[in-house]
């Protein structure tokens, strides 16, 4: 059995933007947290949905035919295969559920030179 994870304490342990940390695992899914700011990149995940919860700040998910804006406490799931482009205001923190091993840049469709592709970074 594991120990509880305090999310505020977990966020204090890293500074990198757009580099989610794995704080828990549920079956074959990672629970990831991330500090995000500015633009990510157009991408999709062909085989898995992507769940987002805005914990602080303002998190925008642009899709080809819609845009959603998440404020603290809001959730949204991007369906598998849907191309999306996340943007975030300064100081934004998010929580995500992603299938274990899912690349943060998915099947990228744009410039990712400003991002580090990971498959979830362990908190410790």
pLDDT band at 1 (very low <50, low <70, confident <90, very high): low
Residue 119 · residue 28 · CB < 8 Å: no
Q: How far apart are CA 103 and CA 56, in angstroms?
A: 23
Q: How far apart are CA 44 and CA 26, in angstroms?
A: 22
pLDDT of res. 111: 78
pLDDT tens, 13-23? 999 999 999 99
Segment 4-25 mean pLDDT? 96
Q: Is the pLDDT of residue 4 over 80?
A: yes
Domains in the chain (CATH in brackets) are 7-113 (2.60.120.10)
Look up the pTM and report it.
0.93
Q: How far apart are CA 82 and CA 64, in angstroms?
A: 8
pLDDT tens, 64-84? 999 999 999 999 999 999 999
For 61, the token pair is: 């998910």
CB contact set of 36 (below 8 Å; sequence gap of 6+): 17, 18, 57, 59, 86, 88, 92, 93, 94
């Amino acid at each position: 059995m594991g120990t509880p994870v305090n999310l505020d304490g977990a966020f204090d342990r890293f500074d990198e933007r757009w580099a989610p940390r794995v704080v828990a695992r549920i079956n074959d899914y990672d629970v990831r947290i991330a500090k995000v700011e500015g633009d990510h990149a157009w991408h999709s995940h062909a085989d898995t949905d992507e769940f987002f919860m805005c914990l602080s700040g303002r998190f925008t998910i642009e899709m080809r035919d819609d845009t959603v804006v998440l404020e603290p406490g809001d959730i949204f799931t991007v369906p598998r295969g849907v191309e999306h482009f996340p943007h975030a205001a300064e100081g934004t923190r998010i929580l995500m559920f992603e299938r274990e091993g899912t690349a943060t840049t998915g099947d990228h469709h744009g410039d990712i030179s400003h991002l580090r592709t990971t498959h979830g970074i362990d908190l410790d």
